[in-house]
Structure 1
Amino acid sequence: MSSAPAVARDSDPVTIPLTALLALDRIDNGLFRSEHVFEIDRPLYGGQVIAQALMACGLTVDEGRDPHSLHGYFLRRGDATRPVIYRVENDRDGRSYSARRVVAIQNGAVILNMSCSFRTVTPGAERTASTVESLVHPDQCRRITADPGISIEARVQDWPTAAQYFPAKFWVRPNCILPDGDSLTHAAAIAYMTDFSAGLSRVNGSEILGPSLDHAVWFHRPPLWSDWLLVDYGAGVAAGKRGWYPGSVVDGNGEVVASMAQEMVYRDKR
């Protein structure tokens, strides 16, 4: 992992640099521990544990292979005041692909399990799977006041209705400069961001949106997050007290960098 210093953006408030949140301590072969913990009692942000799990897997893969997909299941609520242990299993290293499995552990219990895959970077024909209508430049958009523990900057053109609650289309960038040429860190940073906001209404009839169940990300191009990215969540499905929605991550040129999907729980109002 790159040891480049975390340089904060001038426009960002005082938060933990995203690169610091992604940093891991290698304990043994295939065994890692998160370095940063929060001093106040708070749930562990799901995007953080996904990103760190991807970092742990990537640190066991030979150079020249970038992350191209991940699928994780949230099993228990994490504690942001305690470090997380990541145990990586090497399933296969083929000629072009490497497959890994990882579990995230706190207090002796698994809080996340995840599979991810890496591929040798290979050029080929490119097509954009979908297009996103142009929006106002992020500098002209309203800043979302995110939780100080979330290390990204987000801006939205039109705030959603009270029924929608979460913005479904917004701009994002990390709160620090990511190291050049470090595709693993850039991919982990994008994965961190994909758990921000939600593509579902907070209230669905008598139910309220709860925690995430599972989360998937596909990287279509070599990960690069050096400027604003647009997140566009598509129409979701709510049934059986579960809600699912897809999303696209698009760069300033309109190219789809990554796609994601997430399923969340709906709970009865109290």
Structure 2
Amino acid sequence: YCDAVDLNLGCPQARARNEGFGAFLMDNPRMVYAIIHRAYQQLQVPVWCKIRLLPTLEDTINFARMVEAAGASVLGVHGRHRERSKHTGSADWSAIKAIKRSVGIPVIANGNCQCLHDALRCLEYTGADAVMSATGILANPKLFSGFGCPGTDGKSNCKHAVKSSNGNGDRKSNGASNGKRNVQCNGKFIGNDETNWRSHETSNGCETKGDSDSAGGNSQRKRAQPRGVVTETKKRPLPGP
């Protein structure tokens, strides 16, 4: 099972324009609401949604609130308008900050993160719950490990985003039934402490804790466990009428 279903309203490409999907689906907020709400009603996993900025900040905030009301558990915000050429120009972190303050669900900030320093600055400035990288991590797959940051060797103070399962096979969490911890090395998210994602500092790469069956029987093999506790995202209840 998948951990969540993510509705991408961020694609600005010509094909998306011609066929009315991606960022251009934001022109039809009623349909977006219907899609998210139906998915929320029918699926046992959380629904996420990623958006771009609309022509005005007020419109974008209203759209973000609509996404939340429809049942989305997490909101990703790409800090550029869809009319921007590809992914060039500065992302508007101020807009992401305003959106974060206007909704009650976790917000993932996207845009202008080319190295770990950028990601940490983005978290501090916007107050977002996590950071997403697209073109930056394609150019530097070790982006979130600190590799390539000015003044660092790319090895110390590595950040690992860790996601743990609840071990009971509950599809409303992450669908895992083996109780093992899943460690995302150089992963997609770096999160603030009050959210579902937390930063962990280690000195020697990925560390996990889990069970394994040996040839001699069911012996338990353990590795060092990263500091901190991380929980998965869950499908949230909607408020009553």
* Same fold, TM-score > 0.5, yes or no: no
Q: TM-score, normalised by structure 2?
A: 0.29
| Structure 1 or 2: more strand by fraction | 1
Q: Which protein is bigger by CA-based radius of gyration?
A: 2
| Structure 1 or 2: more helix by fraction | 2
Structure showing greater relative contact order (alpha-carbon pairs closer than 8 Å, 6 or more residues apart): 1
